[in-house]
Amino acid sequence: MAAPEHGTDHDLVLLGATGFTGGLTADYLARHAPSGLRWAVAGRDPGRLAALRDRLAAIGGAGTSVGTLTADVDDAASLRAVTETTKVLATTVGPYVAHGEPAVAACADTGTDYVDLTGESEFVDRMWLGYHERAVATGARIVHACGFDSVPHDLGAWFTVQHLPEDVPITLSGYVRAGGGISGGTYHSAVRAFSRVRQSQTAAAERRRREALPPGRRVRALPARPHRGPDGRGWALPLPTIDPQVVRRSARALDRYGPDFGYGHYALLKTLSMAVCTAAGMGSMVALAQLPPVRDLLLRARSQGEGPSAEQREKSWFRVRFVGTAGGRSVVTEVRGGDPGYTETATMLAESALCLAHDALPATAGQVTTVQAMGDALLARLQVAGITFRVVS
């Protein structure tokens, strides 16, 4: 089925640009995108959009060419009108399980490429079930998790695999350390995800039932148990985020990951007591989120518009170390950057959108990972943007 004809008004549109992370992404584009970029910011409040446009114009560069579009995630017609005018739609409107589906549907229908910041496994699985086949038909590339969830992990694993022998089994572990605050939007997404464990399991089971596995190859999760960190330093705690799922989906899609690929994903903590307290705290949050009155109290504790200050973000950081073995060889690599949840997440989302809009990329369609869709092109962009990918040993 041929992809629908697109208008030529915009290379990309940023939906949710008046929010906290959306505003950081808009600032990044104004400062770092090519001056000839045809782009617009979109949201439901024309007044706030106009104020944002003026602020971006004052930055200069690509900020002088930004337009504004009125669109509401609760108004399917307005979203379709926006997607028909652009090559790429980037959205920061979450929690995605509550607000994200209309944008995915509009992009899948119009053949528009899509990127977001979700770390919500349930949302990603439901979008695959509902819109993957339609996106394949129209040529749309639906790329979820284009922020700290899960770009450093997906691209970091890919970077590491390329430093290991080909056509042999590969075992890879990722160890995450980070320091930084979280925004109200991230907090709300986490609480809602904790409250929807059963729904998430149901969506994942249905996807497993319907999704084909790569013939003649195996992709698996490494044992999810605590253990000492690399070189016996610290304690590694299994990290039940969306990141290992994304890494394994990239491995299923690409033969370069070898005939038998195993991946484990862990938080690296300094002491055993920290690991125990962290696990207990997460378990308590999941249990409390099942109780509607308590969940409502948790959600009221923070506003979705709040976020860390510029000073707090300046002090924040992340490190992800990968340890891989294959064919009798071992390699250790590292991905590192600044504030993971906001400054670098805005960088990753913006560069992902620019990559889809402008770079020569592999022919893909449907719901695909960052490695599938953009791979080395996005990795190169992020290195230029200051995110480090390096071989340690």
Q: Give the pLDDT confidence of 25-47 residue by residue, as tens digits.
A: 999 999 999 989 999 999 999 99
Which structural domain range is residue 318 located in? 151-340
If you average pLDDT over residues 262-285, what whole number do you get?
75
The domain total for the chain is 2
| Per-residue pLDDT tens over the stretch 54-93 | 999 999 999 999 999 999 999 999 999 999 999 999 999 9
| Per-residue pLDDT tens over the stretch 100-117 | 999 999 999 999 999 999
The answer, yes or no, to whether residue 254 has pLDDT greater than 80, is yes
For residue 4, is it within any domain? no
Interatomic CA distance for residues 155 and 152, integer angstroms: 5
Reference 34, options 281, 316, 360, 354; nearest CA is 354
> Looking at the structure, do residues 104 and 183 belong to the same domain, yes or no?
no
For residue 3, is it within any domain? no
Entry pTM: 0.93
b/e per residue, 280-309, with b = 16+ CB within 10 A?
Answer: eebeeeeeebeeeeebeebbeebebeebbe
For residue 256, is it within any domain? yes
Q: Are 10 and 354 in contact (CB under 8 A)?
A: no
> Looking at the structure, do residues 61 and 194 belong to the same domain, yes or no?
no
Range of lowest pLDDT (230-244, 278-292, 315-329): 278-292
* pLDDT of 4: 41
Reference 148, options 383, 375, 317, 12; nearest CA is 317
What is the pLDDT confidence band of residue 1, given thresholds at 50, 70 and 90? Answer: very low
> Looking at the structure, do residues 329 and 209 belong to the same domain, yes or no?
yes
> Looking at the structure, do residues 14 and 130 belong to the same domain, yes or no?
yes
Report the CATH number that the domain containing residue 135 is assigned in CATH.
Answer: 3.40.50.720
| Per-residue pLDDT tens over the stretch 223-251 | 888 888 888 888 999 988 999 999 999 99
* pLDDT of 186: 62
> Looking at the structure, do residues 59 and 120 belong to the same domain, yes or no?
yes
The answer, yes or no, to whether residue 280 has pLDDT greater than 80, is no
What is the pLDDT confidence band of residue 307, given thresholds at 50, 70 and 90? Answer: confident
> Looking at the structure, do residues 156 and 141 belong to the same domain, yes or no?
no
> Looking at the structure, do residues 300 and 183 belong to the same domain, yes or no?
yes
For residue 392, is it within any domain? no
> Looking at the structure, do residues 193 and 287 belong to the same domain, yes or no?
yes
Backbone angles phi, psi at 70, to 5 degrees: -90, 125
Reference 174, options 193, 158, 190, 194; nearest CA is 158
If you average pLDDT over residues 327-345, what whole number do you get?
95
> Looking at the structure, do residues 203 and 119 belong to the same domain, yes or no?
no
Peptide bond into 95 cis (omega under 30): yes
If you average pLDDT over residues 383-388, what whole number do you get?
98
* pLDDT of 273: 66
For residue 5, is it within any domain? no
Written as one string, the DSSP assignment of 152-196 is HHHHHHHHHHTTS-SSS-EEEEEEEEEE----HHHHHHHHHHHHT
> Looking at the structure, do residues 252 and 224 belong to the same domain, yes or no?
yes
The answer, yes or no, to whether residue 2 has pLDDT greater than 50, is no
> Looking at the structure, do residues 68 and 142 belong to the same domain, yes or no?
yes
Interatomic CA distance for residues 150 and 229, integer angstroms: 21
> Looking at the structure, do residues 238 and 336 belong to the same domain, yes or no?
yes
For residue 393, is it within any domain? no
Give the type of residue at 172: L
For residue 92, is it within any domain? yes
* pLDDT of 303: 66
